[in-house]
């Protein structure tokens, strides 16, 4: 029996409307939807900042001017500004939710977006339930969803006690990126990949998500999160799941979600020896950062997936701030040929064949293969077969995910069991780990990260332009 199509929301309540996330990401996304004529519901901003509607509109105008890109579409901006409402109040005060209820009337199916610190998720969800604002509604929760396994379970229980499962949208903007969605498509739309996509042919997998900038004035937030909670448990693990999952048994994102959960369940819990934590020099001088902080701004980890396909293949994940470049790349390194016919095809001659996914900046897929040099000698060199995937009209991830949440489409959002299974992998390392090692800004992190990967070679350092490999 076919499931009925969900009804679209008739209002958006945006908690944390005066915050940095709303300014940098959500307002430009709403403007994008307004440009496409895909936004016609009232938007009620909620915050405890002693603002008024006029100041909120100025904030939206500033966000569009600074972050939206392209020529300004003034009619779209006017439409967006005309949809705005504002409620100022403390999230712990029941009167705030009554004021929101009044501002949302006569909406019957609002979407509540929690662009607020994770410590306030449970408070706001409980407030929505107590005010009768959960019936027929949806809730969108930003990452990180919980701080560890226990807190994620508690938050899931609170959310499920107020909203039905299919009305809870755990958002990770990485899942809305075109390059990430292309991993799923590339894997299962092409037949040539499957014979080599296993432990018999793959030597190791690397994933790097690097940023040249620091905490950018968000020191107080980063002190509560750190690199492991901020990007590994969500962004990087989601990418690993797409790379490592089995083919879904049927079409549909329900089957995709089920296979991704199996990957998390097959991951070996992270041990202290599998993790290197780092902190860039100068982090402790950032506003809001403790002078003796041990929070990691960099992490490198060795991951094992104990499945039939991936047993024995190490996965190396690395992320950090104030690194040499801002980029995201995957390197799937293949095993050398079983017999050495040519001396220069040995592993010692350089990096073996590999498949490289460039996720940002830009999208690219490259396959490295050896070709013979001109002459009588059987001597070659490695070249990349390079596919640059530039397509006009790419939809910003937050715009895509906001549109999906308002329409009730849950395909690109994370399920509760996936969140908990991912935390279960990370949990031991959150409780027991070594100190954060200092590293120089502009480097690729502490030397211990190189020692971690040394048994299987060296890190692939993404080139800033994305045009080719850099070792």
Report the distance separating Cα 237 and Cα 240, nearest Å: 5
Beta strands 202-210; 314-320: pairing state: parallel
Q: Among candidates 115, 8, 7, 116, which has minimal Cα distance to 398? A: 115
Q: Residues 103, 222: one domain?
A: no
Q: Residues 126, 31: one domain?
A: yes
Report the distance separating Cα 258 and Cα 245, nearest Å: 9
| Type and span of the H or E element at 76 | helix 74-83
Question: 300 lies in a domain?
Answer: yes
Q: Do the Cβ atoms of 360 and 179 come closer than 8 Å? A: yes
* Enclosing domain of residue 104: 11-142
Q: Residues 115, 264: one domain?
A: no
Q: What does the pLDDT read at residue 79?
A: 96
Q: Do the Cβ atoms of 276 and 299 come closer than 8 Å? A: yes
pLDDT tens digit sequence for 143-199: 888 899 999 999 999 999 999 999 999 988 888 888 888 899 999 999 999 999 999
Tokens 């307004």 correspond to 34
Q: Residues 56, 180: one domain?
A: no
Which stretches of the chain score pLDDT less than 70? Answer: 1-4, 345-350, 376, 390-393, 465-471
Question: 118 lies in a domain?
Answer: yes
Question: 161 lies in a domain?
Answer: no
Q: Residues 34, 124: one domain?
A: yes
Q: Domain count of the chain? A: 2
Question: 469 lies in a domain?
Answer: no
Q: What does the pLDDT read at residue 346?
A: 59
Q: Residues 42, 179: one domain?
A: no
Q: Residues 430, 320: one domain?
A: yes
Q: What does the pLDDT read at residue 471?
A: 40
Among residues 142, 159, 184, the one where a domain terminates is: 142
Q: Residues 312, 271: one domain?
A: yes
Q: Residues 184, 83: one domain?
A: no
Report the distance separating Cα 180 and Cα 260, nearest Å: 14
Q: Among candidates 215, 221, 159, which has minimal Cα distance to 19? A: 221
Q: Among candidates 284, 321, 295, 330, which has minimal Cα distance to 442? A: 321
Q: Residues 242, 136: one domain?
A: no
| Type and span of the H or E element at 19 | none
Q: Which two tokens stand for residue 59?
A: 């904030």
Q: What does the pLDDT read at residue 4?
A: 65
Q: Residues 198, 138: one domain?
A: no
Sheet-wide strand order for 43-47: 84-88, 43-47, 11-15, 110-114, 138-141, 168-170
Interhelix angle 149-162/121-130, rounded to 10 degrees, is: 10
Question: 127 lies in a domain?
Answer: yes
pLDDT tens digit sequence for 206-221: 999 999 999 988 888 8
Q: What does the pLDDT read at residue 1?
A: 42
Q: Which two tokens stand for residue 395?
A: 């939809």
Q: Residues 261, 338: one domain?
A: yes
Report the distance separating Cα 347 and Cα 340, nearest Å: 10
Sheet-wide strand order for 437-439: 380-388, 364-372, 354-360, 327-334, 202-210, 314-320, 298-304, 275-280, 437-439
Q: What does the pLDDT read at residue 397?
A: 87
SS3 state of residue 87:
strand
The residues annotated as belonging to the active site are 235
CATH number at residue 269: 3.30.360.10
Question: 410 lies in a domain?
Answer: no
Question: 254 lies in a domain?
Answer: yes
Contacts of 324 (CB under 8 A, 6+ apart): 210, 212, 442, 443, 444, 461, 464
Q: What does the pLDDT read at residue 363?
A: 87
Question: 279 lies in a domain?
Answer: yes
CATH number at residue 123: 3.40.50.720
């Amino acid at each position: 029996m076919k499931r009925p199509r969900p009804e679209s929301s008739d209002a958006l309540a945006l908690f944390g409307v005066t915050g940095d996330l709303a300014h940098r990401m959500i307002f430009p996304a709403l403007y994008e939807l307004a440009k496409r004529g895909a936004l016609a519901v009232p938007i009620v901003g909620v915050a405890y900042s002693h603002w008024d509607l006029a100041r909120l509109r100025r904030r939206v105008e500033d966000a569009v001017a600074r972050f939206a890109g392209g020529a300004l579409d003034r009619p779209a901006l006017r439409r967006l500004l005309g949809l705005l409402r504002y409620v100022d109040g403390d999230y712990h005060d029941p009167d705030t939710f009554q004021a929101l209820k009044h501002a949302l009337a006569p909406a019957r199916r609002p979407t509540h977006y929690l662009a607020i610190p994770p410590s306030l998720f449970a408070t706001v969800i409980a407030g929505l339930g107590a005010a009768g604002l959960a019936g027929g509604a949806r809730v969108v929760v930003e990452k990180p969803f919980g701080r560890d396994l226990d807190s994620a379970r508690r938050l899931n229980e609170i959310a499920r006690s107020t909203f039905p499962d299919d009305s809870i949208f755990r958002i990770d903007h990485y899942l809305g990126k075109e390059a990430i969605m292309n991993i799923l498509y590339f894997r299962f739309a092409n037949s040539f990949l499957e014979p080599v996509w296993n432990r018999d042919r793959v030597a190791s997998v690397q994933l790097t998500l690097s940023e040249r900038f620091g905490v950018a004035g968000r020191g107080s937030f980063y002190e509560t999160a750190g690199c492991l909670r901020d990007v590994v448990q969500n962004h990087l693990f989601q990418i690993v799941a797409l790379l490592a999952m089995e083919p879904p048994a049927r079409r549909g994102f329900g089957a995709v979600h089920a296979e991704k959960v199996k990957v998390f369940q097959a991951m070996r819990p992270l041990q202290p020896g599998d993790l290197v934590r780092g902190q860039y020099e100068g982090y402790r001088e950032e506003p809001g950062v403790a002078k003796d902080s041990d929070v990691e701004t960099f992490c490198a980890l060795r991951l094992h997936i104990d499945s039939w396909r991936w047993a024995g293949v190490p996965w190396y994940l690395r992320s950090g701030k104030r690194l040499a470049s801002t980029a995201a790349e995957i390197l799937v390194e293949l095993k050398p040929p079983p017999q050495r016919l040519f001396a220069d095809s040995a592993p010692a001659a350089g990096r073996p064949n590999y498949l490289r996914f460039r996720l940002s900046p830009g999208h690219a897929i490259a396959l490295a293969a050896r070709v013979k040099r001109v002459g009588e000698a059987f001597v070659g060199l490695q070249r990349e077969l390079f596919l640059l995937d530039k397509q006009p009209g790419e939809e910003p991830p937050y715009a895509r995910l906001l549109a999906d949440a308002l329409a009730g489409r849950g395909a690109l959002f994370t399920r509760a069991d996936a969140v908990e299974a991912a935390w279960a992998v990370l949990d031991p390392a959150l409780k027991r780990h070594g100190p954060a090692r200092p590293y120089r800004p502009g480097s690729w992190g502490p030397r211990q990260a190189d020692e971690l990967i040394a048994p299987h070679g060296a890190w692939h350092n993404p080139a800033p332009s994305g045009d080719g490999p850099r070792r």
